[in-house]
Structure 1
């Protein structure tokens, strides 16, 4: 697998919606990505972390998938929004509880400062709930700007430091 050409997508949520659990919802979201013709090359296990900024909200579940780039980044982002909508994602505000959040973390080595589509994701490298799952499946993946590997970024993450694999 050529990690310099791979697309990294983070999945997360803390509301199960119509599903028995957040993990079940995320599994269905992975299946929906495949249906949307996004071939998954690798996927992490699910990770758990406390809700923030309100730790009394349900815990988050997060994971990462690596997919082949079969469409451009803008079209891919639109597909991610469509998948979120299929799971009734409602954007109530920043850091609000949600059924599904899909973030385009990296699109190969592409760097973009476009406000609608900043690549790589501007804060993913700080988040253990993103870098931990990514390091699980692609520890040698290198951040297109920082040059650090997923494993190095997971070790130095400063946000969501309570994130751990679901056992």
Structure 2
């Protein structure tokens, strides 16, 4: 069976392809053009900018994809290439962007190891703002905290179980404060 990868998509600036929603739609086509097999795609959602006040609000979505013969590092490399094609410049951590493609998970893979994953998951918020990992960490260390990821991800992978936390996407979504879930609005 092919490895399934979970990807979060977002835009708050739009691109040459149009407004943020059109940019996310074009990014899905770009994924297919780059060899990804789109298995499931979520609805599109309007979400508040994270962190608050960092720019215009986002359009977010998630997709479950396969890339035959590829491992997670190659998937990430291809995602970064697509972002670059859409004019993404990595200037400011958590800044506004034309396109954001985040590799959220690769099945039950934990990278680079459980201890490193735990350290990044426990990183204090102030450090999160200033530090970025120098290697791929999977599953994404803060997916369980982010409604703008979990609500769309529930559309495509509600039953996926976090290999470290042992919790499904549906349960992680329900564990979020109600006010955070309510901020993620279907378009």
TM-score of the superposed pair, with normalisation by structure 1: 0.89
**Runs of 4+ in structure 1 displaced over 6 angstroms?**
none
Query: May I ask how many residue pairs the two structures share in their alignment?
Result: 164
- Equivalent residue number for residue 45 of structure 1: 43
Decide which structure has the larger Cα Rg and report it.
2
**Structure 2 unmatched ranges of 5 or more:** 114-133
- Equivalent residue number for residue 116 of structure 1: 135
Going from structure 1 to structure 2, the CA distance change for 1:23 and 1:74 (only over 3 Å counts) comes to same
Asked whether the 8 Å contact 2:54–2:96 carries over to 1, the reply is no
Going from structure 1 to structure 2, the CA distance change for 1:58 and 1:77 (only over 3 Å counts) comes to same
2:149 equivalent to 1:130: yes
- Equivalent residue number for residue 77 of structure 1: 76
**Structure 1 unmatched ranges of 5 or more:** none
- Equivalent residue number for residue 157 of structure 1: 176
Asked whether the 8 Å contact 2:43–2:61 carries over to 1, the reply is yes
**What is the rounded CA distance, in whole Å, between the counterparts of 1:7 and 1:77 in structure 2?**
10
Asked whether the 8 Å contact 1:47–1:133 carries over to 2, the reply is yes
Cα deviation per residue 1:78-131 (whole Å; 9 max; x = unaligned)?
000100000010112111100111111111111113741111111112111111
**What is the rounded CA distance, in whole Å, between the counterparts of 1:5 and 1:108 in structure 2?**
7
TM-score of the superposed pair, with normalisation by structure 2: 0.80
**What is the rounded CA distance, in whole Å, between the counterparts of 2:161 and 2:3 in structure 1?**
11
2:166 equivalent to 1:166: no
State the shift of 1:145 in Å.
1.1
Corresponding residue to 1:61 among 54, 59, 62: 59
